[in-house]
Amino acid sequence: MVERKIPSHVAIIMDGNGRWAERRGKERSKGHIEGSKNVEKIATHAFKLGVKTLTLYAFSSENWSRPEKEVRELMRLLKTYLVKFAKKFAKKDVRLVVSGSREELSKDLVDAICECENLSKENKDFTLNIAINYGGRQEIVRAVNNLIKKGEEVTVDSILDNLYTSPFGEPDLIIRTGGEYRISNFLLFQGAYSELYFTDVLWPDFNETELEKALDDFSRRKRRFGGVKNV
Ligand code: FPP
């Protein structure tokens, strides 16, 4: 048995909600409802195991091209989740932050995000970072533009400092559920040396045991960050 190493920052591409619903003859939105129920369970377990930051890819900059009804449902679920979070998770010392552009989001959703972020800003133990209207390429462009505006030199470190994730660092482990083997514009810059874990399990079925399997797999990885020594 390899001793379990707990990654400080885990990120998840929660894929497979649509297929989960379709396989049951239900509308895709039912898969998103089921998927959103899974968020609290997995976040609670990850924090219990010692993960400090959990980043979840909830809505990409490219997801606007989905049918209007599906986009509306996802936005409704996100707002409902945030309102619920404000009452519950915030009391458990979890800080909530949202990464992504807010420009295209409704005022209602932006208000809910601001309320959650404000309410939980003093929470120190854990961070739940939800990526909404997020794209990795867009994030890099935004970081470089920020640096240009400030008249600062563009370097790897200065870009890292201007990413949404700068307060909590680079992800150690990126998990993708749903059987696809791609990164889909997620954490492109800060994910340069993340360990990747892919599973066929669809997001609504990804439970505590599946999370532990991913962490056990991570524990067996040899991380060298381009060098020759295991870190
Ligand atoms: C990908 O599955 C999933 C999404 C685009 C949305 C993820 C959203 C949630 C899990 C619910 C809301 C989130 C929070 C934080 C409350 P897909 O629809 O592409 O599935 P498919 O590949 O099977 O079609």
Instruction: Show the 3-state SS of the chain.
Output: CCCCCCCCEEEEECCCHHHHHHCCCCCHHHHHHHHHHHHHHHHHHHHHHCCCEEEEEEEECCHHHCCHHHHHHHHHHHHHHHHHHHHCHHHHCEEEEEECCCCCCCHHHHHHHHHHHHHHCCCCCEEEEEEEEECHHHHHHHHHHHHHHHCCCCCHHHHHHCCCCCCCCCCCEEEECCCCCCCCCCCCCCCCCCEEEECCCCHHHCCHHHHHHHHHHHHCCCCCCCCCCCC
**Is the predicted pLDDT of residue 28 greater than 70, yes or no?**
yes
Q: Is the CB of 102 under 6 A from ligand 1?
A: no
Q: Is the CB of 55 under 6 A from ligand 1?
A: no
Nearest-angstrom CA–CA distance, 57 and 61: 11
Let me know if 63 is a catalytic residue.
yes
**pTM (2 decimals)?**
0.96
Q: How far is the CA of 145 from the centre of ligand 1 (A)?
A: 30
| Substitution site in 15, 19, 26, 75 for ligand 1 pocket (most atoms within 8 Å of beta carbon) | 15
> Tell me, what's the pLDDT at 169?
94
Instruction: Indicate if the alpha-carbon torsion angle 42, 43, 49, 54 is positive or negative.
Output: positive
pLDDT tens for each residue of 31-89: 999 999 999 999 999 999 999 999 999 999 999 999 999 999 999 999 999 888 777 87
As a whole-number percent, the residues of the chain with pLDDT over 70 amount to 99
**Is the predicted pLDDT of residue 109 greater than 90, yes or no?**
yes
**Is the predicted pLDDT of residue 226 greater than 90, yes or no?**
no
Average of per-residue pLDDT values in the chain: 95
- pLDDT band of 1, cuts 50, 70, 90: low
How far does the chain reach from its first CA to its final CA, in angstroms?
Answer: 19
Q: How far is the CA of 35 from the centre of ligand 1 (A)?
A: 7
Lowest average pLDDT, out of 85-99, 100-114, 154-168, 175-189, goes to 85-99
Nearest-angstrom CA–CA distance, 195 and 54: 15
Q: How far is the CA of 51 from the centre of ligand 1 (A)?
A: 22
Please tell me the residue having the least CA distance from ligand 1 atom 5.
59
Q: Is the CB of 58 under 6 A from ligand 1?
A: yes
Q: Is the CB of 130 under 6 A from ligand 1?
A: yes
Q: How far is the CA of 149 from the centre of ligand 1 (A)?
A: 35
> Tell me, what's the pLDDT at 77?
95
Let me know if 15 is a catalytic residue.
yes
Phi and psi for 71 in degrees, rounded to 5? Answer: -60, -45
> Tell me, what's the pLDDT at 190?
98
State the greatest distance between any 2 C-alpha atoms of the chain, in Å, as a whole number.
55
